[in-house]
Amino acid sequence: MNPFSPQVKSVEAFQRDLEPAIIAARNELVTAENFMAYKNSYSIDTYDKDGKTICSFHSRMFFFTELDTDHIRDTYNRRLLPLGFELSEDRWTSNGVEIVDYVWTNEEYHAAVSATTRLGEQTSTYYYTQGTPTDGSTGNPPQMIDQPGRIPDWFDPNLPPADKK
C-alpha cells in the first residue's frame, strides 16, 4: 500500500465517503441490549514522510453478544460491498472455541472493517485505515469530522473500557 499513490483516498474522504455506512452497519449490530464492553477510543495518528502527512484512523472496538455470524456478515455486506469493499473470511478453533473472523477491505481508502466472533462467547468489531494521506480539508488531520452515530446514543462514556475494569 503506497500512501502517495494517486488512487489512495484521504483520511478525510474515508470519513465522508465510507464511515457513515460502516457506522450504520455497526449500529445495526451493536445495540444497548447486546453491548458488553469496549476497548480504546477513536483516534487519528499522523506522521510525516517525505514532507507529506500520513494518517491512520482507528475506531473504538465494541464487544457484544450477537453470535449469528451469517447475520453479522450479511449486515456488513449489505452496506460495504456496494462501496468497493471485499470480504475475506477465516475460521479456526482456539482452546476448543470456534472463531469466525470477517475482514472487509477497501484498497482505494486503505480501509478495513473487522468482526471476530468467538462462538458461544462474544463478537468484537472495529474499523481503521492505515497509511492514508490527508487532503487538508479539515485543516488539522488528527481532528475527526463530526460523524452522527459514531458514538451511539445509548453509549455511556463514563463506562470504563474492558481493559480498565
CATH number at residue 51: 3.30.2030.30
Segment 77-86 shows an average pLDDT of 98
Residue 148 lies in a domain: no
Q: Show the cell assigned to 82.
A: 456496494
Residue 147 lies in a domain: no
User: Concatenated DSSP letters for 91-117?
Assistant: EEEETTEEEEEEEEEEGGGTEEEEEEE
Q: Is the pLDDT score of 65 beyond 70?
A: yes
Q: Is the pLDDT score of 160 beyond 70?
A: yes
* Alpha-carbon gap, residue 162 to 125, rounded angstroms: 14
Residue 45 lies in a domain: yes
Residue 4 lies in a domain: no
Among the ranges given (32-36, 93-97, 159-163), the one the predictor scored with the smallest mean pLDDT: 159-163
Residue 2 lies in a domain: no
Segment 99-125 shows an average pLDDT of 97
Residue 159 lies in a domain: no
Query: pTM surpassing 0.75?
Result: yes
Q: Is the pLDDT score of 1 beyond 60?
A: no
Number of folded domains that form the chain: 1
Segment 47-60 shows an average pLDDT of 93
Q: Is the pLDDT score of 163 beyond 80?
A: no
DSSP E strand stretches across 24-159: 35-39, 43-49, 52-58, 61-64, 86-94, 97-106, 111-118, 122-129, 132-133
- 131: Cβ contacts below 8 Å, ≥ 6 apart: 1, 3, 8, 54, 56, 110
Q: Is the pLDDT score of 147 beyond 70?
A: yes
Residue 144 lies in a domain: no
Q: Which 8-state DSSP code applies to residue 163?
A: G
* Alpha-carbon gap, residue 66 to 75, rounded angstroms: 12
